[in-house]
Amino acid sequence: MAELEESPAAQLLKADVKVVNVGLEGFVKDLEDCGIGVVHLDWVPPAGGDPEMAALLAKLGV
C-alpha cells in the first residue's frame, strides 16, 4: 500500500518557525526568549506616517 503524501500545509506545521519582524523591536526579544529564529527589520512608515506627505514623496519617486 502506497504511503500518503502530506499536504504542504501539514509539512509547514512540522517545520521550525522562523520570523521576520517588521518595525516593533519589542517582539524580537520575546521571540528569541522562546527559541524562535527571528530577523528584525527596522522599518518606519514613509514621512513618519503622514499620508499627505507620503503621497507627495511618492510623486517625487523618493
d(CA 55, CA 53): 5
pLDDT number for residue 13 = 85
pLDDT number for residue 3 = 64
pLDDT in tens, 25-42: 889 999 999 999 999 998
Query: Which residues face 41 on adjacent strands?
Result: 22
pLDDT number for residue 2 = 56
pTM of this prediction? 0.53
Phi–psi pair at 60, nearest 5 degrees: -80, -15
Low-confidence residues of the chain, pLDDT below 50? none
